[in-house]
Structure 1
Amino acid sequence: MNSLKDFFIFCSGADRTILDRVPSDENKYLGIGGTIFFTGVLATLSAGYALYTIFDSYIMAVLFGLVWGLMIFNLDRYIVSSMKSKGGFGDFMVALPRLAMAILLALVISKPLELKIFEKEIDAELIVMEQETFKEQEDRVNARFAGGITAAENELATLQAEVDAKTTARDAAAAAALAEADGSGGSGVRNMGPIYRAKKATAAQAQAELDETLAALQPQIDAKRSEITTLRAEAAAGITSLERGAYGGMAARIDALDRLGSRSDAILMASIFITLLFIAIETAPIFTKLISPRSPYDHLLHEHEHVYAMEAKESITERTNNVKNRLRIHTEVGVHQTTADIAAKKAEIDVALREHRKSLGDLGLGLG
């Protein structure tokens, strides 16, 4: 039990030696440490699920999940332990950047767990999204060939219309000749007379024109049909060659959750409350330290740090003064040494001038 308490106090970032002097604050820091620890556990689970979705490997998910969880744990511990309660409005200003960081971490941690919570609904939505994606890909492939197919079909329709017109004319002429022959049409007299021969000639002319049209246009019609068949086969081959890999990565799942939320108020509200829950968990240690009055631990910690600060200030001041004194000594000694050197040099020069003048005077007397 003591080992577990020591671990949670370590998680809180509290100084154990100071906390031992104020046992009344122990429960407070046990709660803070427990919150930080379990936030790290949730971060590990969240990152593990997210990375399993990406790599599809349990080993990679466990390894990177642990690394991510330890990083979040260490960051949370630092954020909380670096807050020093001094009382007043200054504590809120100090807490603001830490709260912003905690909220960001909560958003990052909560999203993969949201995806896991709504996994069944997301999987169903992914099927719809997958079909939409495949349909879009197929439409893009078909669009590449649609222009050529439409143009070929229009040309084929024009050629076929001309053939159909000739065929219709031939059929009408043949029907008229047949009706004239059996008396069911035309003059209404069953005979093989001149009228029938004229209509028969007209039917023969229509057949000749149809044969001529077919001879001229049938190769073109066959070519257009072959072209259309080829284009459709190429479009089908393009659709078949599309890569239909696994659909359901992290981005796709986030998009699916967003689509579900836009259609279902229940899912949207659940997603929002899950995010708010993680924000509350992540920011709880900070708010605990922020709204709590200064405890004996805070006073002792401030005193402890103040002693070190004063000792450091005293040491710095002493060293600064020592440096200033040494500089002053060196400066004044140097000035004195320079002054003495100048005086000695002047004395040497004076002696040299006197001897020079004396030698000149002795030289003048000798000459006289």
Structure 2
Amino acid sequence: FSSGYALYTVFDSYVMAAGFGLVWGLMIFNLDRYIVMSMKSYGKWWRDAVVAAPRLAMAVLLAIVISKPLELKIFEKEINAELLTMEQEVFKQQEDKVKERFNAQVEDQRQQIAKLKDEITFKTAARDTLARIAQIEADGTGGSRKKNLGPIYRAKKADADKAQAELDSLLAINLPLIKEKGMALVAVDSAAQAGIAALDRDKYDGMAARMEALSRLTANSQAIYFANIFIMFLFISIETAPVFVKLISYRSPYDYLLHELEHGFQMANLEHVTLLSNEVNTKVNYDTEVSRHLVLARIAAEKELIDHKLKEKLEDLKKRPFDWKLGKI
């Protein structure tokens, strides 16, 4: 069931999940069976502990592998809720990355628009100030404190009119630019929204995502953390129980019979190896002696042939006359 659920999460196929789950179950069953059956009791706890140590390690590993998919299934509802949060976080990160590509353009357009508006605001404030000065000069509430439309008023009114003309000129230039920059800003925003709309919004519920969600849940909830630990310990105890039972048990008749059979097989194998070794040694000695005899026989034959030729040569020399003067035959 554990592996079947894991494969269904990955491939979303009942057939593959059922098939692999069956194969996985048979494999785990045979591994557990081999772990227990391969243990032998030697009657000494330290020796038995050394033999059991790697089997215990393998049992713990199998328990962790088996328990993890079941933990994902047990906390499936909580994990699905956490996956929604994680999915939104992933989508938010994707959107932020898209927006980052356009941030420079957006910021540049906004700064230019703000600069143009600031120029208009500054000119408007200057115009209003000069117009107010001219007004209070006209009604006598300020300036010379004389209510009249004399030369002082006309001078101040001329300054106000000049400021108004400058403002009108600035508005004629800046307002079209502000409109243009605003349209460019809208275009950039539309491009960013189009990029966001084109993002791949696949469902965020793979095996790795579920394990990450479970990790976040265990980090944020003590209840889930301890439940997760206890489930893992449960499977560890189930997987290691046969090994511990075998480890603490006394030697049974089965152990003695197994030892007898193994010892008999070992002795039979030793006998077979010894006989084979002796046979090989005998053959080697035989071949060595035969080769040695052949060499000696060849040497004797060569000696006899040489002696015979020397004897014939000597007889031939005796039959020929010797010339004493010349010192040769």
| TM-score of the aligned structures, taking structure 1 as reference length | 0.81
For the residues of structure 2 that align with 1:84 and 1:344, how far apart are their CA atoms? 67
Deviates more, 1:290-299 or 1:216-225: 216-225
Question: Mapping of 1:157-196 within 5 angstroms?
Answer: 157-177=114-134, 183=139, 185-186=141-142, 193-196=150-153
Shift of 1:131: 1.3
Match of 2:71 among 103, 110, 114: 114
For the residues of structure 2 that align with 1:70 and 1:180, how far apart are their CA atoms? 105
What residue is the counterpart of 2:24 in the other structure? Answer: 68
What residue is the counterpart of 1:335 in the other structure? Answer: 292
Q: Does 1:123 align with 2:75?
A: no
Q: Does 1:147 align with 2:137?
A: no
Match of 1:352 among 309, 312, 329: 309
Determine which structure has more spread, i.e. the larger CA radius of gyration: 2
The amino acid that maps onto 1:159 is L
What residue is the counterpart of 1:53 in the other structure? Answer: 9
Q: Does 1:138 align with 2:95?
A: yes
Deviates more, 1:131-140 or 1:352-361: 131-140
For the residues of structure 2 that align with 1:256 and 1:184, how far apart are their CA atoms? 78
The amino acid that maps onto 2:42 is K
Contact 1:99 1:283 in 2 (8 A): yes
Contact 1:50 1:112 in 2 (8 A): yes
For the residues of structure 2 that align with 1:79 and 1:105, how far apart are their CA atoms? 11
The amino acid that maps onto 2:80 is D
What residue is the counterpart of 1:205 in the other structure? Answer: 162
Question: Mapping of 1:1-368 within 5 angstroms?
Answer: 45-88=1-44, 89-177=46-134, 183=139, 185-186=141-142, 193-364=150-321
How many residue pairs get matched?
323
For the residues of structure 1 that align with 2:202 and 2:214, how far apart are their CA atoms? 21
Greater length-normalized contact order (CA 8 Å, ≥ 6 residues apart): 2
For the residues of structure 1 that align with 2:270 and 2:70, how far apart are their CA atoms? 50
Measured against aligned partners, the alpha-carbon deviations of 1:123-153 in whole angstroms (never above 9, x if no partner) come to 1111111112212222222222223322322
Shift of 1:191: 5.9
The amino acid that maps onto 2:2 is S
For the residues of structure 1 that align with 2:198 and 2:177, how far apart are their CA atoms? 31
Structure 1 residues 322 and 68: CA distance shift in structure 2, 3 A: same
The amino acid that maps onto 2:271 is E
For the residues of structure 2 that align with 1:184 and 1:307, how far apart are their CA atoms? 133
CA RMSD of aligned residues (A): 2.3
Contact 1:47 1:112 in 2 (8 A): yes
SS of alignment partner, residue 83 of structure 1:
coil
Contact 2:137 2:145 in 1 (8 A): yes
Measured against aligned partners, the alpha-carbon deviations of 1:74-130 in whole angstroms (never above 9, x if no partner) come to 222222222122221211111111111111111111100001011111111111111
For the residues of structure 2 that align with 1:233 and 1:330, how far apart are their CA atoms? 98
The amino acid that maps onto 1:264 is S
Contact 2:140 2:148 in 1 (8 A): no
For the residues of structure 1 that align with 2:252 and 2:26, how far apart are their CA atoms? 29
Identity of aligned residues (%): 55
For the residues of structure 1 that align with 2:112 and 2:81, how far apart are their CA atoms? 45
Shift of 1:212: 2.0
For the residues of structure 2 that align with 1:361 and 1:102, how far apart are their CA atoms? 101
Structure 2, gaps ≥5 residues long: none
| TM-score of the aligned structures, taking structure 2 as reference length | 0.90
Measured against aligned partners, the alpha-carbon deviations of 1:325-365 in whole angstroms (never above 9, x if no partner) come to 11111111221221122112101110111001111221237
Structure 1 residues 363 and 139: CA distance shift in structure 2, 3 A: same
Shift of 1:214: 2.4
SS of alignment partner, residue 320 of structure 2:
helix
Measured against aligned partners, the alpha-carbon deviations of 1:214-247 in whole angstroms (never above 9, x if no partner) come to 2333343333323322222222222222111101
For the residues of structure 2 that align with 1:184 and 1:242, how far apart are their CA atoms? 68
Contact 1:176 1:185 in 2 (8 A): no
Contact 1:46 1:110 in 2 (8 A): yes
Shift of 1:317: 0.5
